[in-house]
Amino acid sequence: MLNFDAPRFIAIQSAAMELAVGLQDAIDKCLAAGSQNIFFLGSGGAGILMHPAAQLLATRSQFGVFVHWPAELAETGSRHLGAQSIVVIPSLSGTTTESTAALAYCQAAGATVVALTGSADSPLAREPDYSYTNPAADDTSSESFYLQSLVIALAVMRARNELADTDQIMAELRLLPALLADVKRGAEDRAAEIAARIAADPYHIITGAGSAWPQAFYYGMCILEEMQWIRTRPVHAADFFHGTLELVEDDVSVILLKGEDPARPLADRVEAFASRYTSKLTVLDAADYGLPGVSPAVRALISPVILATVLERISAHVEVLRDHPLVTRRYYKRVVY
């Protein structure tokens, strides 16, 4: 496999799941103290990776859930933010300017802050009420953040008696690190093929729905745009037919991510349309990848995790084909802005 260290990957994702006990304890304490809502605040990609957990709570829990851009929240405020709030702030470096500012802002508002970082020796890791660190890197952080935020959402629902079979769900989630490494191995050949298509085109439309949408958004913005400088149009499948469809022609690349949750029919609709009007439709379906021992109910929760793990393999090939390392930047953290 190209540039893949399986033991390292398994160790990092296992470490993410090992944080579950501490995260459950933190959530239990917050709810016992009277917390009434939860904010997911993350800058850029780390923030996008929180969306599936927030969506899970919004659709299956009565606990208040809010998602904001940290920089905007600090400017506009929120009447829902206060002593009754749990705030989750993810940052791989733990130094993201907007996120550290949000930490101070939320603590001043009386909220309880839970930080998820990749570095224990960072401002965001040192200063919150609860701090959890998993030393991931760019190529392993998506799965790690998805799993940690999912554990937080499940912890809220467990504490509120809104979720049955919690122990079984967690047992299945703990199988994922090794299973995802197997998914990567099985996806390698197709990943190389898809990477060749991506590398060959200067523009892509990328779309998805439900919990697959954040991964489409993340991959388009953070990987293809930021890390590869490829012009990309991320659009939710529900909005695909409200503007973006007019850009579809035979030579236009459309990348569709499909999950296994109730929003899947929205992706099916895009697939049926795009397959008629472009020869460059690429479909990446979480359902295509086997996870022995993982139930359909849990698979529905982890579609973005599966998609992220396959897309990492695609990225590994894209950077080689384009001779453009994923760490290369023109502006990000290189100039003042």
Structural domain total, the chain: 2
Q: Per the domain annotation, does 292 fall within a domain?
A: yes
Among 118, 152, 173, the domain-final residue is: 173
Among 122, 147, 173, the domain-final residue is: 173
Query: What six digits make up the tokens of 216?
Result: 């489409």
* Per-residue pLDDT at 213 exceeds 90: yes
Q: Per the domain annotation, does 268 fall within a domain?
A: yes
Same domain? 117 vs 27: yes
Range of the domain at 16: 6-173
Same domain? 212 vs 108: no
Same domain? 158 vs 257: no
Task: Give residue-wise pLDDT tens across range 17-30.
Answer: 999 999 999 999 99
Q: Per the domain annotation, does 135 fall within a domain?
A: yes
Same domain? 56 vs 142: yes
* Per-residue pLDDT at 87 exceeds 90: yes
Q: Per the domain annotation, does 333 fall within a domain?
A: no
Query: What local confidence, expressed as pLDDT, does residue 86 receive?
Result: 98
Among 173, 207, 234, the domain-final residue is: 173
Q: Per the domain annotation, does 334 fall within a domain?
A: no
Same domain? 33 vs 145: yes
Token look-up 């982890």 returns: 302
Query: What local confidence, expressed as pLDDT, does residue 272 receive?
Result: 98
Task: Give this prediction's pTM.
Answer: 0.96
> Between the CA of residue 56 and those of 37, 102, 319, what are the distances in Å?
14, 23, 33
Same domain? 118 vs 139: yes
Average pLDDT along the chain: 97
Q: What is the secondary structure of 174-199 as a DSSP string?
A: TTHHHHHHHHHHHHHHHHHHHHHHHH
Same domain? 138 vs 188: no
CATH number at residue 107: 3.40.50.10490
Same domain? 98 vs 231: no
What does the longest C-alpha to C-alpha distance in the chain come to?
A: 58
Same domain? 16 vs 142: yes
Query: What local confidence, expressed as pLDDT, does residue 284 receive?
Result: 98
Query: What local confidence, expressed as pLDDT, does residue 106 receive?
Result: 97
Same domain? 193 vs 120: no
Task: Give residue-wise pLDDT tens across range 45-66.
Answer: 999 999 999 999 999 999 999 9
Task: Give residue-wise pLDDT tens across range 165-210.
Answer: 999 999 999 999 999 999 999 999 999 999 999 999 999 999 999 9
Phi, psi of 177 (to 5 degrees): -50, -50
Query: What six digits make up the tokens of 122?
Result: 């960072």
* Per-residue pLDDT at 337 exceeds 90: no
Q: Per the domain annotation, does 1 fall within a domain?
A: no
* Per-residue pLDDT at 118 exceeds 90: yes
CB-CB contact of 156 with 37 (8 Å): no
Could you write out the three-class secondary structure of 118-171? CCCCCHHHHCCCEEEECCCCCCCHHHHHHHHHHHHHHHHHHHCCCCCCHHHHHH
CB-CB contact of 92 with 138 (8 Å): yes
Q: Per the domain annotation, does 327 fall within a domain?
A: no
Q: Per the domain annotation, does 183 fall within a domain?
A: yes
Rounded mean pLDDT, 77-85? 97
Rounded mean pLDDT, 139-143? 97
Same domain? 131 vs 235: no
Same domain? 180 vs 241: yes
Rounded mean pLDDT, 37-41? 98
pLDDT confidence bin for 91, thresholds 50/70/90: very high
Task: Give residue-wise pLDDT tens across range 263-320.
Answer: 999 999 999 999 999 999 999 999 999 999 999 999 999 999 999 999 999 999 999 9
* Per-residue pLDDT at 333 exceeds 90: no
pLDDT confidence bin for 135, thresholds 50/70/90: very high
